[in-house]
Structure 1
Amino acid sequence: EKGIDTIVAASTGNAGSSLAGVCASQGQKAIICVPAAAPKAKLTQILMYGAQIIPVDGTYDDAFDLSVALTEKHGIFNRNTAYNPFTIEGKKTVSFEIFRQMNFSAPDRIFVSSGDGVILSGVYKGFEDLLQLGLISKMPHIISVQAEGSNNIIRNMFTDAYSFVPSKTVADSISVDLPRNFYMALDFLTRYNGEGIAVSDDEILSAGKELTVGNGVFAEPAATAAYAGFLNQKAEGKIAKGEKVVVLLTGSGLKDINAVQPLIEIPEPVKAEQFLKDFEL
């Protein structure tokens, strides 16, 4: 509609592959800045859609800064989360989906994996819209779940002296040094009495295995962090009987298969005839 032919974004892979696919379907050029260490499955999707990929020797934060610099220098339309306000408007639609799928009601509790705080803010914004329209009577209790090695939102929830530390976690999509939507996310958490939980990488991977084996849902570590937060609160008895609980899973496990390799062991090849002879249920 606006005649935009080129779009740039920074991504650890998920948003980048989605943008690349949309641009391919509309004859637009996508330029995706990614940290060089991003999972190959995600980078493969981006390249297959024909996008220009720029691997940055550094973190997601470095990729973000480069994408903004490209916009400032060349006037390229920037889709970045926390830079382009339309991303919040897009992400808030998940709240409308939850509302509709729960028979036009709101859950009591929602667990959301958080990195830069955009999905968290989008969930809040969607339910805030529903609240202001009078379609729900109260805001759900929303829990921001971060990796212990990348917890720069929740570690600053109860202080005015903000500090940020370098991130290091197996959950690459929520690995962020400087949360670009920090102030909005913190404002929502404060105004609506939200909660923050930090989970270890071991807890994230363990929760992912339990989620897959026990529920048939294979999600990447950045998504299963939310499930790890749910398991922690369940074990602590914080979830009341009969509560309606939503755990938001934001990425397929097929996007980051390297992260779960320590959890699995692929058997050695067998001789078919001998295996059939020896096999017992």
Structure 2
Amino acid sequence: MAAVLGLQCIRCDARYPADHYAHDCSACRPVARSNLTVVYDESLRRHRSKPTSGSGNGLWRYGDLLPVAEIDGVSLGEGGSRLHRLSHSAERVGIRNLFAKDETRNPTWSFKDRLACMAVSAAKKAGAKVIVSSSSGNAGAAAAAYAAKAGMPCVVFTFKGTAGPMLTQMRGYGAKVVAVEEKPDRWRFMEHTVREFGWFPTSPFFGPVVGSNPFGIEGYKTLAYEVVEQLGWQVPDWCILPVCYGDALLGMWRGFEDMMAFGWTDKMPRMVAAEVYGSVGEALSNGTDTPPDMPKAFDTVAVSIGATQGTYQALDIVRRSKGVAVKVGNDDMMRWQQILASSEGLYVEPASAAGLVAVEQLASTGRLAAADTVVSLLTASGLKDPAATAKLQGELLTVPSDFDKAAGILRASGIFPSDR
């Protein structure tokens, strides 16, 4: 465990005590609402040895760099996800070294397990009584699972229209799930529980959103550590992430910064935000500090990244890394969901496919070079929202019991060879 000194604003560096996790930066609020990050004793970022084969597996392989000790951690075996080389997709987009970090294999099938692990661990250590989350699916499911493991009650505020399987998953873990009429209402109810009841928030709970719990975001640092170790201690040129509020963008960036300080690496990657409505991209274009609330021109299939307004933390990391924000649409996300499943054997939710849409766009314009090493984050399993896929598949082919009649249908459909 790393020694925590407190929290710090990512915009102005103002310091706050460690129990300030349920607030934004009051100094920045009049200009741009900003999230806080964990501050450690300066000894954390001194030169250190790389982990060895005996250092453990998964997220806790890097436990000495996290704000909670493994012995106090609430764990379900998160982290250590596979880094796939996307050989067929690489040929399609003209990028030779294209990889996907497959977070679908985490305990609740999404990258949110890294955040929930750290947040719930911090909550339990602090003596919190109830975990509360506002979520369209993945974050709520992860919070519910880790709360269950910790023996803590969990309440999730969601909204009408959230994918049914994810609601079932949350409730399966024992969470009390409440759907509100309008999306912003969930923050109003959740903020009341935090301020009045002292419940521990793992996700955003007031607007405009600044990001998730700072202790939870530290779990995402391990994504960067793992990617670099899996690439033979080489930093990718680009990291592409589907982005809603930019928690993983910030967490990964902090992980890359750590490794530079440790002497493990000698460069930083460029970060890409694949977003639906273009809020971060608009702020980049205008040179502002506050991503605007964009018009909702269409209903997205990627509900988990469907925010119309981005965050300062997402904008800051893209800007500091000399990265870019890319708008992605429904048709392209569903097309890449199908490509990944049919050519790479990876069935992901539509939001996960947003990263590959961004890769394709950036490669087509020459922004990504053929020799670049590119890593795209696959955030969650396609089984989180199978209805989106099913809508495009058409009717299931059904055949009668009579073999000859069935064979004729199968030949006509191209499944059986036509010359037999």
| TM-score (norm: length of structure 1) | 0.91
1:72 lines up with 2:195 in the alignment: yes
Residues 75-224 of structure 1: pairs in structure 2 closer than 5 A: 75-81=198-204, 82-147=211-276, 150-159=277-286, 160=288, 162=290, 163-167=292-296, 168-179=299-310, 182-224=311-353
Q: Which consecutive aligned stretches of 4+ in structure 1 deviate over 6 angstroms post-superposition?
A: none
Q: CA RMSD in A?
A: 1.8
Report the CA distance shift for 1:83/1:262 in structure 2 as closer, same or farther (over 3 A). Answer: closer
Whole-Å Cα distance in 1 between the matches of residues 405 and 225 of structure 2?
A: 52
Q: How far 1:51 sits from its partner (Å)? A: 0.6
1:47 lines up with 2:171 in the alignment: yes
**Matching residue's letter, 1:178:** Q
**Matching residue's letter, 1:22:** Y
Whole-Å Cα distance in 2 between the matches of residues 224 and 65 of structure 1?
A: 31
Whole-Å Cα distance in 1 between the matches of residues 175 and 167 of structure 2?
A: 10
Query: 1:3 maps to which residue?
Result: 127
Asked if the contact 1:117–1:153 (Cα under 8 Å) also holds between the matched residues in 2, the reply is: no
Whole-Å Cα distance in 1 between the matches of residues 196 and 295 of structure 2?
A: 28
- Aligned-residue identity in percent: 29
In structure 2, runs of 5+ residues without a counterpart are 1-124, 205-210, 411-415
Superimposed CA distance per residue, residues 54-104 of structure 1 (whole angstroms, 9 cap, x where no aligned partner)? 111122x43234222211121111111524211221122111111111112
Query: 1:18 maps to which residue?
Result: 142
Query: 1:262 maps to which residue?
Result: 391
Q: Number of matched residues?
A: 276
Query: 2:152 maps to which residue?
Result: 28
**Matching residue's letter, 1:258:** A
Partner SS state of residue 55, structure 1: strand
**Matching residue's letter, 1:238:** R
Partner SS state of residue 317, structure 2: helix
Once structures 1 and 2 are overlaid, which stretch shifts more, 70-79 or 183-192?
A: 183-192
**Matching residue's letter, 1:171:** A
Asked if the contact 1:115–1:173 (Cα under 8 Å) also holds between the matched residues in 2, the reply is: yes
